[in-house]
């Protein structure tokens, strides 16, 4: 049995996250704080009171607690406590270790990674040949913000598609951005951010968020789909996207075919969360990531492709897909039937990117 871990101060949000993680890993945990009454106390299986770190008796009280409970590790999310413990712990009682890196590094690591990723993306943009004048270069902070929240919002968008969306949207005409299939909202966030920074147009997400529409007639995929809740997915989408809405995004909780008919007639969407949004009625970027069964993917292209303007992008996700060939067949048919209208086409990651000719 591993020795217990002491969490001090125990009530801070990252302390509580660490508590949950430790319990899941089967670790023995002891909470501690210097408050007379700490509301987090009842969440801990065991508890010890310690004086404030500034109290002259802190080191001795800590030593007693470490010996009494035979503690092997300490986790602290507090920078002052962490700095003090990193100086005295080895001398106070050898063998007891601080398990976390500096809290400042912990808090900032995601932001630092986002800045590095932004620098990489900006230095490695696709050498695109396009008739469209590129939009302004985004700033390092704008791109880092895109990277940071793309990392935080859950979804199924891989790094290659992310970087291709970043690169291609810079060479976009103006118009609506439509996403078929948004689920938890990762790619929707990317499109919303790019739409706003590049001033391309407004984002419309079309998704029924209904479990029956997750069935793709591929058993391995379908068995996974039965374990998730579409209602919860929509709530996660709303929570994730709401802070980034600059009155430029909304959704239709409909199938893609129903959504296309609605869009054609109304050019607007109205939801409690995002309010009322008017659309241009012409699509600059169409991202198809809905049901991947051949018939469904074909219906997506047939019902929405007609709205895409000359110079616009059509992106067919999972053109390369280990579970079936629906998107690939639909993509290949589109390329075959529209040769004269296509300015560029390439596969990046697993998605097919098609740019229509400007004079389309
Ligand atoms: C792979 S997920 C989308 C992932 C998302 N684009 C991302 O990158 O995180 C597929 C989505 O397609 C939606 N979907 C299924 N059938 C659909 C249909 N007929 N029309 C529109 N969306 C559909 C599902 O509800 C699901 O949210």
**Backbone conformation region of residue 267, classed left if phi is above 0, alpha if psi is from -120 to 50, else beta:** left
Q: Is residue 315 part of a domain?
A: yes
Q: Is residue 237 part of a domain?
A: yes
State the distance from the centre of ligand 1 to the C-alpha of 164, rounded, in angstroms: 19
The CA distance from 200 to 50, in Å, is 56
Residues 136 and 155 in one domain: yes
The helix or strand, by DSSP H or E, that contains position 286, with its residue range, turns out to be strand 283-288
Percent of the chain with pLDDT over 70: 99
Q: Is residue 15 part of a domain?
A: yes
Residue 281 sits in a domain whose CATH number is 3.40.50.150
For the segment 293-337, what is each residue's pLDDT rounded down to a tens digit? 999 999 999 999 999 999 999 999 999 999 999 999 999 999 999
State the distance from the centre of ligand 1 to the C-alpha of 286, rounded, in angstroms: 13
Residue 3 has pLDDT above 70, yes or no: yes
Residues 199 and 324 in one domain: yes
Residues 35 and 114 in one domain: no
Token pair belonging to 274: 């995002």
What is the number of domains present in the chain? 2
Q: Is residue 105 part of a domain?
A: no
- At residue 359 the predicted structure's pLDDT band, cuts being 50, 70 and 90, is confident
Residues 170 and 318 in one domain: yes
Residue 205 has pLDDT above 80, yes or no: yes
Residues 194 and 343 in one domain: yes
Q: Does the beta carbon of 208 lie inside 6 Å of ligand 1?
A: yes
- At residue 215 the predicted structure's pLDDT band, cuts being 50, 70 and 90, is confident
Question: What is the pLDDT at residue 360?
Answer: 65
Mean pLDDT of 3-22: 97
Question: What is the pLDDT at residue 227?
Answer: 80
Residues 151 and 84 in one domain: no
Instruction: Map tokens 């990317």 to a residue.
Output: 190
Domain boundary among 55, 81, 100: 100
Q: Is residue 215 part of a domain?
A: yes
Mean pLDDT of 22-51: 96
For the segment 258-290, what is each residue's pLDDT rounded down to a tens digit? 999 999 999 999 999 999 999 999 999 999 999
Task: For ligand 1, pick from 231, 291, 303, 319 the residue to mutate: most ligand atoms within 8 Å of CB.
Answer: 291
Q: Does the beta carbon of 209 lie inside 6 Å of ligand 1?
A: yes
Give the number of C-alpha atoms closer than 13 A to the C-alpha of residue 4, restricted to the C-beta side. Answer: 21
Nearest CA to ligand 1 atom 23: 290
Residue 42 sits in a domain whose CATH number is 3.40.50.720
Token pair belonging to 237: 């989408």
Mean pLDDT of 5-34: 97
Instruction: Map tokens 């995929």 to a residue.
Output: 221
Instruction: Give burial (CB, 10 Å; 0-12/13-18/19+) of 100.
Output: middle
Q: Does the beta carbon of 253 lie inside 6 Å of ligand 1?
A: no
Residues 54 and 116 in one domain: no
Residues 146 and 52 in one domain: no
Question: What is the pLDDT at residue 1?
Answer: 63
The CA distance from 119 to 169, in Å, is 18
Q: Is residue 285 part of a domain?
A: yes
Q: Is residue 171 part of a domain?
A: yes
Residues 91 and 137 in one domain: no
Print the domain residue range for 268: 110-356
Domain boundary among 100, 129, 151: 100
State the distance from the centre of ligand 1 to the C-alpha of 156, rounded, in angstroms: 10
Percent of the chain with pLDDT over 90: 91
The pair phi, psi for residue 270, each rounded to 5°, is -140, 120
- At residue 219 the predicted structure's pLDDT band, cuts being 50, 70 and 90, is confident
Domain boundary among 51, 73, 100: 100
Q: Does the beta carbon of 313 lie inside 6 Å of ligand 1?
A: no
- The total of other beta-carbon atoms located within 10 Å of residue 23's CB is 14
* H helices present in 75-216, as ranges: 79-92, 103-123, 140-152, 159-169, 186-197
Q: Is residue 339 part of a domain?
A: yes
Residues 195 and 242 in one domain: yes
State the distance from the centre of ligand 1 to the C-alpha of 103, rounded, in angstroms: 38
Residues 172 and 60 in one domain: no
For the segment 140-199, what is each residue's pLDDT rounded down to a tens digit? 999 999 999 999 999 999 899 999 999 999 999 999 999 999 999 999 999 999 999 999
Question: What is the pLDDT at residue 176?
Answer: 98
Residues 299 and 262 in one domain: yes
Question: What is the pLDDT at residue 297?
Answer: 97
Token pair belonging to 265: 């007639």
């Amino acid at each position: 049995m591993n020795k217990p871990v002491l969490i001090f101060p125990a009530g801070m949000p990252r302390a509580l996250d660490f508590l949950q993680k430790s319990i899941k890993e089967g670790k023995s945990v002891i909470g501690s704080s210097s408050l007379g009454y700490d509301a987090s106390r009842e969440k801990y299986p065991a508890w010890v009171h310690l004086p404030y770190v500034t109290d002259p008796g802190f080191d001795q009280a800590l030593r007693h607690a470490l010996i009494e409970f035979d503690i092997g590790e300490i986790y602290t999310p507090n920078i002052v406590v962490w700095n003090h413990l990193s100086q005295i712990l080895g001398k106070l009682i050898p063998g007891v270790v601080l398990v976390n890196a500096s809290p400042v590094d912990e808090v900032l690591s995601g932001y630092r990674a986002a800045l590095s990723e932004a620098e990489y993306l900006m230095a490695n943009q696709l050498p695109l040949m396009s008739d469209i004048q590129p939009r302004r270069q985004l700033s390092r902070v704008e791109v880092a913000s895109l990277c940071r929240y793309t990392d935080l919002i859950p979804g199924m968008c891989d790094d290659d598609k992310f970087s291709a969306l970043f690169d291609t949207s810079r060479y976009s005409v103006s118009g609506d951005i439509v996403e078929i299939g948004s689920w938890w909202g990762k790619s929707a966030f990317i499109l919303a951010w790019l739409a706003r920074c590049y001033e391309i147009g407004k984002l419309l997400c079309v998704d029924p968020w209904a479990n029956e529409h997750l069935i793709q007639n591929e058993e391995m995929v379908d068995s996974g789909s039965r374990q998730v809740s579409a209602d919860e997915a929509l709530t996660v989408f709303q929570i994730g996207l709401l802070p980034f809405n600059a009155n430029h995004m909304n959704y239709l909780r409909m199938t893609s075919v129903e959504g296309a008919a609605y869009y054609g007639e109304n050019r607007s969407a109205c939801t409690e969360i995002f309010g009322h949004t008017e659309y241009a009625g012409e699509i600059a970027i169409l991202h198809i990531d809905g049901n991947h069964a051949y018939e469904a993917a074909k219906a997506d292209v047939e019902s929405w492709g007609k709205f895409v303007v000359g110079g616009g992008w059509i992106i067919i996700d999972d053109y390369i897909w280990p579970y079936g060939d629906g998107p690939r067949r639909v993509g290949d048919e589109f390329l075959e039937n529209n040769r004269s209208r296509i300015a560029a086409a390439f596969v990046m990651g697993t998605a097919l990117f098609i740019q229509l000719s400007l004079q389309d």
